[in-house]
Amino acid sequence: MSEKEQAFQEIFKANSKKIYHLCLGYTCDSDVANDLLQETFLKVWQNLDKFRNQSMISTWIYRIAVNTCLTYLKKEKRAGKDELTPNIIENRAEEVSEKNEQVETLYKCIAQLDENERIIITMVMDEIPYPEIAEVSGISEGNLRVKIHRIKHKLTELYNQHERL
């Protein structure tokens, strides 16, 4: 096995779970999330020798994943498909076990956020350090903290609306 293959396997093991959750946060569909995960890591493999260590490799991979997800959503929108149809949300909800109704409700609420809010809250849930989230999202860390506070408040409101139904 070459050094590149070995390095890639380590990178995949360390980052694939987080990238899958990121893709799932964008699409609310596990099959599509898996496809986007594979597409992301294909791009990582193809460009691994171009990575210049100017940031953490996980930050670089997140940026690739975000761009891959946004490209996918733009194509879906152009094809006339609604990115968050009720069927997709219901399919995602069915995948979560019945005993985790709160988690199910949380994913439904996250699905209602705009794209940037979804990526940020998904990274927060994956316990990505704030400086890394700030770099991926392209905003200052101070602005990020305010944004996270607002997203959490918005999610709380959405969650409470679901609970009343």
Distance (Å) of CA 6 to CA 9, 12, 58, 94, 148: 5, 10, 16, 37, 36
Per-residue pLDDT for 154 more than 90?
Answer: yes
pLDDT of residue 98: 46
* Helices and strands (H and E) in the chain: how many: 8, 0
What's the average model confidence in pLDDT over 2-29? 88
What's the average model confidence in pLDDT over 27-39? 90
What's the CA gap between 135 and 129, in Å, rounded?
10
Distance (Å) of CA 25 to CA 8, 84, 106, 128, 165: 24, 11, 11, 15, 23
Query: How much of the chain is in helix, strand and coil states, percent to nearest 5?
Result: 80, 0, 20
Q: Name the residue with tokens 């219901």.
A: 90
Per residue in 60-115, pLDDT (tens digit) is 898 899 889 888 888 887 776 554 544 555 554 455 444 457 777 777 888 888 87
Distance (Å) of CA 107 to CA 26, 57, 89, 111: 11, 28, 8, 6
User: How does the average pLDDT of the chain come out, rounded?
Assistant: 82
The H-assigned helical ranges of 79-140 are 86-95, 101-111, 115-125, 130-137
Q: Are 111 and 90 in contact (CB under 8 A)?
A: no
Per residue in 42-64, pLDDT (tens digit) is 999 999 888 887 778 888 898 89
pLDDT of residue 112: 86
What's the CA gap between 28 and 21, in Å, rounded?
10
